Structure 1
Amino acid sequence: MLCEQYYLGAPELEVEEFNAKAPNKPIQVVYVPSHLFHMLFELFKNSMRATVELYEDRKEGYPSVKTLVTLGKEDLSIKISDLGGGVPLRKIDRLFNYMYSTAPRPSLEPTRAAPLAGFGYGLPISRLYARYFQGDLKLYSMEGVGTDAVIYLKALSSESFERLPVFNKSAWRHYKTMPEADDWSNPSSEPRDASKYKAKQDKIKTNRTF
């Protein structure tokens, strides 16, 4: 729908599923709906945008975006394949950098429609969601042909534990900040009574004189 609103056209979406764990039964897993929605939305959007822009002058329509969902004993895998031209190998890792995008930088004018891509945070956040519960997001691309994006999720909810950052002494030293100057949040170590402090300093100077 979003692609049709933006480009006035969109490729067909073909979905196929294969349940190796329980053949001839629908795939059922436990996962966070909002995380899964964001990952699929971002990958579908990227595939459709690349396909429409590559075949914009084609009269007989666009190649379909194909999705294969498989459930095994350990993994739930979702592969999204397109024929949108792909990207060079040297750019694959950069696609997961924040603020990097192969799409033109969108205009921020309030009168324009919402941009389809270009901000550079969709794929990094999608991979972050996938890895949060011990999964992953991989991109396999052939320049001139297309791209396969694969989401790997844990099939068993008992194995989908959170990947939390480790906070130890090394991390504490890394994140600890030392203020350059005293302020209200880091009061001075000097005594509050300035007269006592001055008298103490004068006494030290006197002793040094003798």
Structure 2
Amino acid sequence: MKVAPLPQDEPERLAALRGYAVLDSTPEADFDELTRFASELCGTPIALVSLVDAGRQWFKARVGLDAAETPRDIAFCSHAILQRGVFEVEDASADPRFADNPLVASQPNIRFYAGAPLVNAEGFALGTLCVIDRVPRHLDAVQRQGLTVLGRQVIAQLELRRQLVELAHARDRALAGVRAKDVFLATMGHELRTPLGGILGLSELLLEGPVGAQGGSADDLRAIHRAGSHLLEVVEDILGYAQLELDQPRLRSRPFDLGELLADVEATVRPLLRGRAVALNVARGPAPIVADPTRVRQIVYNLVANAIRFTERGSVDVTLAPGDSTIAVRVRDTGVGIPREKLALLFQDFSQVHGDHEAELRGSGLGLAISRRYARLMGGDIVAESEPGRGSTFTLTLPRETS
């Protein structure tokens, strides 16, 4: 028996083979079908997709053979990968290279072998698509050509498989990155919200007590409360924006009463009116809707809080305008207003249309951008009308039922 010599590029060839991450993988239908087709085309009881590893030949797909692999030194495929055309042995028992080969002398009693080398784009022969019979024979021209073509299809499947594996790894890395960012955002949100909540709660308690009745102390406490509220809103905006950038959030729609939600928002924003000659008027009455109540509350709170922030005196009016298939929430204020040329910037990320308004700390520039994105995710929108010195009106329109 003659053992095939190693190819001259053996180290590089093995590296190329292992780069496909296919050795010892589970059966796959595409390779199985090509192998069956080779068996039928050539009229042989055995067909294999054989990959030649360092010390073995391993079968990615096989027809008519139970063994999953054999030693490389007795493999016919070790000879086949040394050439580029179909390697054919018509009668192994009469061929001095194979006559005493265990695969010829005993099971599976090979007599005929033909193998088309599996040569990738870099020129490395990874193995063969081979057909085997237990009786001497030879391939005709059509069968030889067909075996060659099927061998190229095996290589194409290997390339496709590698790309899919790489894409899966890239997807897993991306998901791991998203999960890490989610954990970071959740942790930072907790770490920032908790102390801010404590500061705001304590300042509210002091403002309601005897300390809050004293002029200078009350002013200081109100300044602390305003600063804490502002910082909490900035934190919420940045965390909300980051979450939107990471993925498209899943809406959790359910039936609820928009009128009740407005009452809840009214109670929440009341502390923002301290020290302002501003009347807050909120519509009453039932207004059933199917949407994500958390996101709707976030949007309405943002619109009302903004209206109060930029209104020194006068009023902020929140009204409902039900329609046949939609419902609108209008927030009208008598505040500083917005120049017409800046209205288009309102809903852009990080935009600041008011600059350093003397009455308020500047926000993150994200609240309205986030609000509109959530409104549109629910099938609605937000539009703005304004006149400098006379106030603004923001209208949130939502469908009665969101998907």
TM range (shorter): 0.5 to 0.7
Q: Distance in 2 between matches of 1:117 and 1:30?
A: 34
Please identify which structure carries the higher helix content.
Answer: 2
Assess if the C-alpha contact under 8 Å between 1:45 and 1:116 holds in 2. Answer: no
Size of the aligned set, in residue pairs, is 134
Identity value in percent: 28
Report the CA distance between 1:15 and its aligned residue. 1.9
Q: Aligned match of 1:135 in 370, 380, 395?
A: 380
Residue type at the aligned position of 2:275: L
Q: CA RMSD in A?
A: 2.5
TM, length-normalised to structure 1? 0.57
Matched, 1:152 2:397: yes
Q: Distance in 2 between matches of 1:74 and 1:16?
A: 20
Q: Structure 2 vs 1, CA of residues 50 and 121 (structure 1 numbering), >3 Å: closer, same or farther? A: same
Residue type at the aligned position of 2:282: V
Report the CA distance between 1:4 and its aligned residue. 4.1
Q: Structure 2 vs 1, CA of residues 102 and 4 (structure 1 numbering), >3 Å: closer, same or farther? A: farther
Could you tell me which residue of structure 2 aligns to residue 13 of structure 1?
280
Gaps of 5+ in 2: 1-267
Q: Aligned match of 1:124 in 343, 351, 369?
A: 369
Q: Which is higher, the Rg of structure 1 or of structure 2?
A: 2
Could you tell me which residue of structure 2 aligns to residue 189 of structure 1?
none
Report the CA distance between 1:137 and its aligned residue. 0.3
Residue type at the aligned position of 2:364: F
Gaps of 5+ in 1: 18-24, 53-61, 106-114, 162-210
Residue type at the aligned position of 1:13: L
Deviations for 1:127-181, whole angstroms, at most 9, x for unmatched residues?
00110121000001112211000000001x2xx23xxxxxxxxxxxxxxxxxxxx
Q: Distance in 1 between matches of 2:334 and 2:273?
A: 19
Q: Structure 2 vs 1, CA of residues 154 and 117 (structure 1 numbering), >3 Å: closer, same or farther? A: farther
Q: Aligned match of 2:309 in 38, 49, 56?
A: 49
* 1:62-73 equivalences in 2 (<5 Å): 62-73=313-324
Q: Distance in 2 between matches of 1:5 and 1:133?
A: 28
Could you tell me which residue of structure 1 aligns to residue 345 of structure 2?
94
TM, length-normalised to structure 2? 0.31
Runs of 4 or more consecutive aligned structure 1 residues displaced over 6 Å after TM superposition: none
Deviations for 1:76-119, whole angstroms, at most 9, x for unmatched residues?
100000010211111001111111123557xxxxxxxxx96421
Q: Distance in 2 between matches of 1:95 and 1:15?
A: 24
